[in-house]
Amino acid sequence: MEKRKLLKGIVHLLIIGVLLSQSIPSFTRPTPGGNVINISLTNINLVLFYILNIAILIPKFIEKRSYRKYFVSVLILLLASLSIHHLIDYYLWGPDQMIRIRRHQFDEIEIESFPKPQGFLLPLTPFFFRTISFTFRYFLLLGLGTAFEVLLLFDNERTRNDEMEKQKAIGELNFLKTQLNPHFLLNALNNIYALARKKSEDTTNAILLLSDILRHVLYEAGKSKIPIKQEVEFIHNYIKMEKLKFTEENAPNINFNVKIRNVNLLIEPLILMTLVENAFKHGVSYLTPSFILISLEENERELKFSVINSMPKKFEAHAEKRHVGLGIKNLENQMELIYPGKYSFRQKRGNNLFKSFLTIKK
């Protein structure tokens, strides 16, 4: 922030210095003292206006989008600056005389007194050109200074909006995760409860698997990215825990095929798990043979994940009437926030099959 303020001050000083440098009198040759004072006071007049513009007018009117008041204030300042400018011209030379400079053949300077013109204004032609010259420099300073300040305002506004969008995205992701994680926990506890009721010897193994799942959800899912090998391990544990609900006779056929080139590829936690959980929730049956085919492939361009599961008739009959589940909605929202424009997601139903395809571009 301090560097930004320093850079801003340097730029403003450069603008003032460049625009006023042409009007600074040369001290390499004799110059009438009154002329030096005249130019110096005029430049001070312009610098004061420049400071008032960037320090008061722009923060008070431009930042608040009161453009009409800003232009009125600029015109009032112009009239005030012009008045001061001509007062300097008129009263600089003393009460009774003005100075006229004549150059002789050998660069000798003669200062001659002559009566000051009557009235407030200088003669028309000098007055006109002085006014045009001063007004041009006035608006040139105004334009450059205001343009630079407006660019800074736009940049600050853009930075603030980006930060707001970032914080909004983080808040939405945290909200989605708070919805998702308890769902995993509830599902796991239901599995263990079912095993405990049967007094199954697999209850202990289920508790250990739940411990690994909770560790992943509590410690890994809170990170923005994790290595894909951790997500794969988490899916394997989840599949093992789900299998404990079934006997050898009614267990579904589950195949998890993984082809990964880079096991340390970073990915958002729980993204892939949503589709796996959805397949177990709607794709397996205790009464009829069922299956789940899971495939994860990675190449140099993208990551492809697919889940194909059988769909019992009771689910297929109402498939078109059902709304998209909470898990799928959360998945789509997260993908839009995390990988905007870099992913594709589609689902298909038909022939007792439910297919989900997720592709993430690198």
| pTM, full prediction | 0.53
What does the pLDDT read at residue 346? 93
Question: Taking residues 161-190, what's their average pLDDT?
Answer: 68
More confident residue, 152 or 16: 152
What does the buried/exposed string (b/e) look like for 248-260 if buried means 16 or more CB atoms within 10 Å of the residue's CB?
eeebbebeeeeee
What does the pLDDT read at residue 278? 85
Q: How many whole angstroms separate alpha carbon 152 and alpha carbon 64?
A: 15
Domain ranges of the chain: 2-122, 161-361
CATH of domain 161-361: 3.30.565.10
Count the Cβ atoms, other than its own, within 10 Å of residue 109.
12
What does the pLDDT read at residue 325? 64
Instruction: Say whether pLDDT at 109 is over 50.
Output: no
Instruction: Say whether pLDDT at 305 is over 50.
Output: yes
The answer to whether 141 and 49 are in contact (CB under 8 A) is yes
Q: How many whole angstroms separate alpha carbon 167 and alpha carbon 88?
A: 56
What does the pLDDT read at residue 357? 96
Percent of the chain with pLDDT over 70: 71
Q: Please write the tens of the pLDDT for every residue from 127-160.
A: 566 677 777 777 887 788 888 888 888 887 787 7
Question: Taking residues 107-122, what's their average pLDDT?
Answer: 45
The pLDDT mean for the chain works out to: 75
What does the pLDDT read at residue 76? 86
What does the pLDDT read at residue 302? 94
* Distance linking the first and last C-alpha atoms of the chain: 34
